[in-house]
């Protein structure tokens, strides 16, 4: 969509018409925050709200078609380089033209610049600002963390996806943060279980093999080298275990080299990106995450809904979704020995896997995007004065 140069006053927030909301994010490829927007597009209150989305990076547009199909207008701001702030000028023009009541931002760097750009607009066209923190603050690079801290007070409301994420925010800012645990469509995820046998056959998994799988981007946060080292230990133990990873990312070449150096071969399958990642997860017997930090991953929620026991690091919001010894086993980060031991414990005990799988499925029922959507929309109304 073309952004007009002309300034058009925003509509009066009173009057009973739908609230106009702009989601603002860095890119629209499939990732945690981006997929949340895609699901929110389906779960939204279509009568009470008029939604649009804007993003900076034109090459990260994998979900644009999906959003447009759901009736969400999408705008690219062409913010190709982080030091090129012309995207902020385009954002101001877009906001003046489209008359949004609320701009909801989902990236700390984007938020830091957008706050300053939008709070200096004339009052008659200035939207309310909502910001969601998806990861702990210590996961951001120092300049982004500083920018976020300096501008945080310009928001009208702040959200965090887990209590741990909220607790990572500096104390003087933390009091204004509300925790809203996001969600998925549980019934759609459960439906993928009917493809379990088909997916196992496609992956070449034998009937007696135990599949330990993960769905995570290839980046440092996800701790893939730790998972690879743990897998090597499990394979060397002689257990009939196969590993599967679904994902892609900036570290892919580096991580494939580690995979090759450890000689994992087809005992650890790297599928690359798959649009049917949830269907692949239906083939898993255990779900593994070796992350160094997290918010509350959507893939973890999906694993729980599928009734797949979890072996993961005790970081971020993961313990808020998985109770150690109930839905799975949690270990410290950067400990491939302990991660391998946890995997081996569950691989050797089918009864324990069954009990934890039932507990996981019960826990997964609480992660429903429709509930969190209503909570966030109530916040929009509150900050907009409607």
Domains and CATH numbers, the chain: 19-183+368-384 (3.40.50.2000), 186-364 (3.40.50.2000)
> Which residue is listed with tokens 């769905």?
215
245-266 exposure pattern, b = at least 16 Cβ within 10 A, e = fewer:
bbbbbebbeebeeebeebebee
pLDDT computed for residue 157 by the predictor: 97
Q: Which pLDDT belongs to residue 359?
A: 98
So what's the pLDDT on residue 286? 98
Per-residue pLDDT of the chain (386 residues; tens, 9 = 90+): 433 333 333 444 445 789 999 999 999 998 889 999 999 999 999 999 999 999 999 999 999 999 999 999 999 999 877 678 999 999 999 999 999 999 999 999 999 999 999 999 999 999 999 999 999 998 899 999 999 999 999 999 999 999 999 999 999 999 999 999 999 999 999 999 999 999 999 999 999 999 999 999 999 999 999 999 999 999 999 999 999 999 999 999 999 999 999 999 999 999 999 999 999 999 999 999 999 999 999 999 999 999 999 999 999 999 999 999 999 999 999 999 999 999 999 999 999 999 999 999 999 999 999 999 999 999 999 999 95
**Distance from C-alpha of 328 to C-alpha of 360, rounded to nearest angstrom:** 8
**Cβ 244 vs Cβ 284: under 8 Å:** yes
Query: Structure pTM?
Result: 0.90
Q: Report the alpha-carbon distance of residue 168 to residue 282 in Å, rounded.
A: 33
**Tokens, residue 138:** 């210590």
Backbone angles phi, psi at 379, to 5 degrees: -65, -40
Helices 108-119 + 86-98 axis angle, to 10 = 60
Give the Cα separation of 113 and 202 in Å (integer).
Answer: 46
> Is the distance from CB of 311 to CB of 288 less than 8 angstroms?
yes
Q: What radius of gyration, in Å, describes the C-alpha atoms of the chain? A: 22
CA distance 103 to 160: 16
Burial (0-12, 13-18, 19+ Cβ within 10 Å), 275: exposed
């Amino acid at each position: 969509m073309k952004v007009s140069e002309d300034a058009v006053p925003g509509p009066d927030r009173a009057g009973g018409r739908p609230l106009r909301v702009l989601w603002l994010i860095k890119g629209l490829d499939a990732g945690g925050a981006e997929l949340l927007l895609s699901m929110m597009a389906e779960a939204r209150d279509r009568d009470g709200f008029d939604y649009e989305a804007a993003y900076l990076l034109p090459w990260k547009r994998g979900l644009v078609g999906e959003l447009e199909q759901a009736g969400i207008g999408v705008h690219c701001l062409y913010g190709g380089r982080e030091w090129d702030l012309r995207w902020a000028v385009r954002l101001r023009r877009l906001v003046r033209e489209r008359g949004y009541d609320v701009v909801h931002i989902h990236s700390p760097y984007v938020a830091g610049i957008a706050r300053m750009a939008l709070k200096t607009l004339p009052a008659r066209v200035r939207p309310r600002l909502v910001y969601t923190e998806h990861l702990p603050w210590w996961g951001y690079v120092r300049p982004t963390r500083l920018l976020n801290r300096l501008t945080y007070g310009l928001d009208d409301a702040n959200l965090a996806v887990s209590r741990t994420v909220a607790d990572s925010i500096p104390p003087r800012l933390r009091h204004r943060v509300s925790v809203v645990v996001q969600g998925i469509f549980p019934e759609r995820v459960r439906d993928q279980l009917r493809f379990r046998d088909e997916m196992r056959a496609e992956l070449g998994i034998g009937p007696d093999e135990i599949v330990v799988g993960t769905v995570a981007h290839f980046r440092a946060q996800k701790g893939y080298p730790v998972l690879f080292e743990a897998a090597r230990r499990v394979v060397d133990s002689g257990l009939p275990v196969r590993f599967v990873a679904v994902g892609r990312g900036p570290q892919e070449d580096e991580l494939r080299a580690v995979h090759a150096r450890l000689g994992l071969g087809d005992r650890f399958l790297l599928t690359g990106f798959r649009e049917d990642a949830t269907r692949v997860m239906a083939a898993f017997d255990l779900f593994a995450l070796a992350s160094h930090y997290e918010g509350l991953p959507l893939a973890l929620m999906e694993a729980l809904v599928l009734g797949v026991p979890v072996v993961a690091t005790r970081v971020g919001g993961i313990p808020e979704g998985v109770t150690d010894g109930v839905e799975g086993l949690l270990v410290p980060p950067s400990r491939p020995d302990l991660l391998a031991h946890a995997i081996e414990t569950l691989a050797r005990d089918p009864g324990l896997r069954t009990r934890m799988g039932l507990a996981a499925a019960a826990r997964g029922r609480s992660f429903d995007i429709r509930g969190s959507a209503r909570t966030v929309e109530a916040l929009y109304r509150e900050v907009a004065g409607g």
